[in-house]
Structure 1
Amino acid sequence: MSILKNKIDFVALVAVNGANPNGDPNAENMPRVDDEMYGEISSGCIHRKIRNRMQDMGHNIFIQSEDRTTDGYVCLSDRAKALFTEPNNIEKCKEEACKKWLDVRAFGQVFALQKGNTSFGIRGPVTTHEAYSVDPVIIDSFGITKSVNGLPPKNDSHMSSDRMGTKHFVKFGLYIVKGAINVQLAEKTGFTEEDAEVVKKAIATMFVNDASAARPEGSMEVIKLYWFKHNCKDGQYSSAQVHRSVKVRLKDSCTIPRSVHDYDISVDELYGLDYEDVKGVC
């Protein structure tokens, strides 16, 4: 396996149809939006979905979701301490963590171990922006009821307080996910060309095995993934220039977008920089 030698930039287009792509715990789990009602998906949420797909593909992951734990450890410090052969040797711990866990090689990690052990951080080569919708989104909310009480009723109504609730979802939104892979940091973590291919596949299939009541099967879809591979370590162009080269514009005949077909999508050519147009999978 060879260490990554060429900078990579990527842009993914994600369509949301009747789903909550990323609930905000500070707003009753409503879909995240900014002050102008543009939809938002946090980078942490994006990394979680990429990690899940890495795990689905059989790779070792350090930050495992509680319901997807494969090694029996219930907290990160226990998982880390089980690996580290010399807990107070930072360089040795970094080497072991990067060799063992793909998400550490990719995203980096802060290891805050228990008292008596050295804590340290690793900077990873793969970074993503917060994802925002191209246009403001419309959020629908409706009341829901359970057919049975979850808790004993407190009065004669025979209905407990948890019997009723609210569900929120984005009617439609087209979100742009931007990111890059830095070669200098790849050299430090041992991130390889093969690892980059795994990340590419994970992004293109982000919503496979991700269905839930908030995100029904088929309601989240990676429409396009544009994968730009430069011909040098530092890149022929800045990441900002590459990300701007992907143009997504609402068609003149449309005022309120209802599907991805309401948009014109194109890529401005950057001389000497080729890209791969990867078809997404929902």
Structure 2
Amino acid sequence: MTLANRYDFALFFTVKDGNPNGDPDAGNLPRMDPETNNGLVTDVALKRKVRNYVAALDEPGKQIFIREKEPLNKKIAAACVAKELPTFEKGEGKWDKEKAKGRSQDDIRVLQAWLCANYYDIRAFGAVLSTGPNAGQVRGPVQLGFARSVEPIMPLEIAITRMADVDKEEGEMGRKHIVPFGLYQVHGFINAKLAEKTGFSEDDLTLFWTALRDMFDFDRSAARGEMAAQRLVVFRHESPLGNAQAHRLFERIKVERLHQGEAVPAGDARSHNWPPARAFSDYRITFDGADLPQGVSLVDPW
């Protein structure tokens, strides 16, 4: 069943002694807002984890379009072959771009329908398909913002010794960048009207909630430390267009810092003299559920 309701959600996750999202332009340091020192994790990094989780299922209709070391144009060409449409391939991985530009909109819609039906991430996140054989562009119903830590982070640079080296008997020194602890919050949005166009269904939504819950357990590595999804707050709208503005709903979510029976808003100056947070139990997430806008309800998919 195609999705018929708009959803807005907030995901909270923690990182301990790891690098949740390194910045290649800064020596792989954890991404940060330079004005506030709050940590950042890009939407691309989070979508990658969802894709990897769904890819592990290896089920029909839930294949992943954007995968490591897999050219996209060949997959678009496979859609052309399946629907008996020209691929405009010139050979050796080259395509006749001028002919591809002239593909009719009707043919593009046929190709997009086939690709959406077969690839979960196109149904969910959309994709640019206008390269190579040209299947246009698909705008996905599921969108994520950047995750941001609720308090400033203090990245550490740890020296390590690498003993295995091809040419050196003594090995060499290296560096690892970690965040000792951070609680991050990311906002997400699910557009029911776009779901109608891609075929994103209720079953797809259930899988998406599961992927958000378990994606960090599937993505373990020494670099990322102990990352864990901690809390998911989901607002369900009765109308596919929505019954309230998303930012007004998110304003109802409060994150507090706890210490010896005291509670202050996360990042409040009154907590600056407290010991640094080192566990999710150092925070409390509360929600003002009184007088929700008509047509909006709080659901718990976990």
After alignment, is 36-45 or 57-66 more displaced?
Answer: 57-66
Measured in 2, the distance between the counterparts of 1:276 and 1:77 equals 39
Contact 1:207 / 1:220 at 8 angstroms: preserved in 2?
Answer: yes
1:199 aligns with 2:186: no
Counterpart secondary structure, 2:150:
strand
Q: Using a 3 Å threshold, how does the CA distance of structure 1 residues 57 and 229 change in structure 2: closer, same or farther?
A: farther
Deviation, structure 1 residue 276? 2.4
1:221 aligns with 2:237: no
| Map of 2:95 onto structure 1 | none
State the percentage of identical aligned residues.
34
Deviation, structure 1 residue 41? 0.4
Deviation, structure 1 residue 119? 5.2
Measured in 1, the distance between the counterparts of 2:142 and 2:47 equals 10
1:76 aligns with 2:90: no
Task: Extract unaligned runs of 5+ from structure 2.
Answer: 88-102, 264-270
1:1-282 matches, within 5 Å, as 2-35=1-34, 36-58=36-58, 59-66=62-69, 74-84=70-80, 85=83, 86=85, 87=87, 88=103, 89-114=107-132, 117-118=133-134, 120-150=136-166, 152-153=167-168, 158=169, 163-216=172-225, 219-251=226-258, 252=262, 254=271, 255=274, 256-269=276-289, 270-272=292-294, 273-279=296-302
**CA RMSD across the alignment:** 1.8
Measured in 2, the distance between the counterparts of 1:107 and 1:165 equals 37
Bigger-Rg structure (1/2): 2
Counterpart secondary structure, 1:90:
helix
Measured in 2, the distance between the counterparts of 1:241 and 1:25 equals 35
Deviation, structure 1 residue 159? 5.2
Deviation, structure 1 residue 274? 2.1
Measured in 2, the distance between the counterparts of 1:22 and 1:174 equals 14
Counterpart secondary structure, 2:32:
coil
Deviation, structure 1 residue 17? 0.8
Contact 1:144 / 1:167 at 8 angstroms: preserved in 2?
Answer: yes
Which letter does structure 1 place at the counterpart of 2:108? I
| TM-score with structure 1 setting the length | 0.86
**Runs ≥4 in structure 1, deviation > 6 angstroms?**
none
Task: Extract unaligned runs of 5+ from structure 1.
Answer: 67-73
Deviation, structure 1 residue 37? 1.1
